Structure 1
Amino acid sequence: MNVPNILTSIRFGLVPIFIVVLFSSHPNNLRLSAYIFIIAGITDLLDGYIARKYNLITKWGQAMDPLADKLMQLAVLFGLTVKQLIPIWVIIILGLKELLMIFGGIILYTKGGKIVIPADKYGKAATIIFYIAILSIVFGFPYGKYLILMTVLLTLYAFTRYLLVGVNEMKKYKAS
């Protein structure tokens, strides 16, 4: 285990903590869960930065980092939908996309010769806008609903690109 992988592991641990805090009876549960979400985002930035800067990129990290991100995003989507802060269609679209990404990633890794497709700039931009949209909604900033719509559209575009790359990588693997 190296530092980036430890940070990814911490992010996995933050998912259940986020859920417990969000649904707790604490009067500031929404704000506290948002801080946990922010900490998860910081660990995501740090693990990627450290892994690239110090050449600590591992197959485990390439596979588990996006999984930790997806689980946190699903937890946030689920929680905020239940709390009626975002409309249900958002979790249906983004949740389905995240589940497809998780299963697709597992298939590529286990059946495709440990293929890991890194996030591209569109996926990273969608994640950044997702964080901004969620925090805008939680903290009551304007335009949160528009940012959610922008997140959905950019996420679907990034997913389409990811799907095409995954299909091509699987074809190459099967051809070899």
Structure 2
Amino acid sequence: MTTYGSIIIEIVLPVLLMLGAERFAVYRFLQTPQQVAWVRNHWWLHPNAISRARYPMGFIAVLLLHLGYPRLCFLFFTFWMITDITDGDIARKCDLHTKDGESIDPFSDKLMYSPMLIYLAWLNWLSPVLVGFFLLFDIVGQASRHFIKTKAANLFGKAKTFLVVVLLIVVGLELIYGPLPVLGRAIHPLLVICVGLAFCSTVFKLIPNYWYANILSIMNLVCGLAGCWVILAGHPPVYALGLVFLGQFLDLFDGRAAERWGSTPKGELFDDVADGTSFGLTVGLIVATAFSQLWVGILVGLLYLGAVVYRLVRFVIEKRKAGVLGGVETFAGLPSPAGALLAGTACVLIANDLIIGFLVVLTSMLMVSRVPYAHFGRAILPKVPKIVRVIVLGAFLFLLALGVRRDQYLVPLIFAFTCALAYLASPLYWHPRKSPASE
């Protein structure tokens, strides 16, 4: 049997069985008011009790690994990380959310993965310096909960925890089965991303909430400016496209951050300038360099940039006329992030000028059109099961980290291009509700 066959039988299947059993139990036994009352009346099923039960489990997992039981350690660690999903569902379904739980849950996560990170750094499987920075940011972030009002984990903290688990899974598989060329190359990039997320998680705890949306928009703007520099400096366009990907991830949350915590008077302007830079100017430069004849590329790139700017200006004007204060669930015309994804990946993936030109012009026409498109973050994503979102995000981040390490971007680019085409055709099968404004 091949190594990857052994991984599927010995690791993947048991983990899927544990996760499936946990999901079945949560959905099956929390349906009726009587079941919910029964859970509420048993202290050991309280979310805080489950979180506290995880406190020693990270140390026990390290002990199992140190004693020479890597497979048992892997499954033991995975089981207890799955309970992190369980306590959240119980808290929501049984209305057992508490202020203490906002600190207890993230603290239990840290006690789960920190001992393993330290042990693996001691074994030189992970960079001791990067692990040290990661733990420093984690400690500062946890300590800040004693003097800040919002104690719950923010979006960066949740993403960090998820990616740390992915990192430990990859390292664990290498420990058990020996060098795995495909997986092993992703270890260092994943650790770097985790450190960055830990830093952002800590910083976002220490600043006023109403600045969250602005900071996300400014970070998106920085990604756009860096992407422009990449193109103008003559570097491969795929690096600029990677910065556009990062900007899209940030743009996915800045609007909702503004709705939840408010923003500054210039917050909407920050967002528009950032979108215009990342999804308009950067991708326009990528388009300009994609053609064999530069003058053709410049013309098509200007057409695309003009469509993005027109779309953003039209959205602001129509939104203000309609008196819409928050976000919208339906757009008139293809949203600029989706247009950037389609045009950018087409230019990097496809070598035929005619096909690139057709796709970019089609994208530009759809952006200025009135074709209704559902908001991906507000209308589509919430209807996708959480476990599917987690698996897809984890797979994409892993493939992206692998590409950063080895300059092998084909698979994540094809994945992104396919998603962009699916969204492009979404008005044919997804009929969003009408909204008074467009983007």
By the TM > 0.5 criterion, same fold?
A: yes
Q: Please, what TM-score do these two structures have when normalized by structure 2? A: 0.34
User: Which aligned pairs between 1:15-34 and structure 2 lie closer than 5 A?
Assistant: 15-24=58-67, 26=68, 29-34=69-74
Look up the match of 1:172. none
Look up the match of 1:126. 160
Higher deviation after alignment, 71-80 or 15-24: 15-24
SS of the equivalent of 1:128 reads: helix
Write the letter of the residue equivalent to 1:119.
A
CA contact (8 A) 1:8 1:64 kept: yes
Alignment of 1:138 onto 2:181:
no
Distance change >3 Å, CA 165–CA 91, structure 1 → 2: closer
Look up the match of 2:401. none
Higher deviation after alignment, 120-129 or 70-79: 120-129
Write the letter of the residue equivalent to 1:93.
F
Higher relative contact order (CA 8 A, sep 6+): 1
> Which protein is bigger by CA-based radius of gyration?
2
Over the aligned positions, Cα root-mean-square deviation in angstroms equals 2.3
CA contact (8 A) 1:126 1:151 kept: no
Distance change >3 Å, CA 90–CA 143, structure 1 → 2: farther
Q: What runs of 5+ residues in structure 2 fail to find an aligned partner?
A: 1-42, 175-179, 210-439
Aligned residue among 13, 37, 53 for 1:10: 53
Q: Please, what TM-score do these two structures have when normalized by structure 1? A: 0.77
Q: What runs of 5+ residues in structure 1 fail to find an aligned partner?
A: 170-176
Q: Deviations over 1:44-87 (max 9, x none)?
A: 11111211222111122111111111122211101111222222
Cα distance in 1 between the residues matched to 2:71 and 2:66:
12
Look up the match of 1:57. 97
SS of the equivalent of 2:54 reads: helix
User: Which aligned pairs between 1:84-99 and structure 2 lie closer than 5 A?
Assistant: 84-99=124-139
Give percent identity, aligned residues only: 24
Cα distance in 1 between the residues matched to 2:196 and 2:104:
21
Look up the match of 2:244. none
SS of the equivalent of 2:95 reads: coil
Q: Deviations over 1:86-118 (max 9, x none)?
A: 22123112111111122222x32xxx5xx3432
Aligned residue among 69, 81, 90 for 1:41: 81
Cα distance in 1 between the residues matched to 2:46 and 2:73:
24
Moved runs in structure 1, 4+ residues, more than 4 A? Answer: none
Write the letter of the residue equivalent to 1:99.
I
Size of the aligned set, in residue pairs, is 160
Cα distance in 2 between the residues matched to 1:167 and 1:117:
13
Q: Deviations over 1:23-50 (max 9, x none)?
A: 22x3xx2222222221221111111121
Cα distance in 1 between the residues matched to 2:157 and 2:185:
20
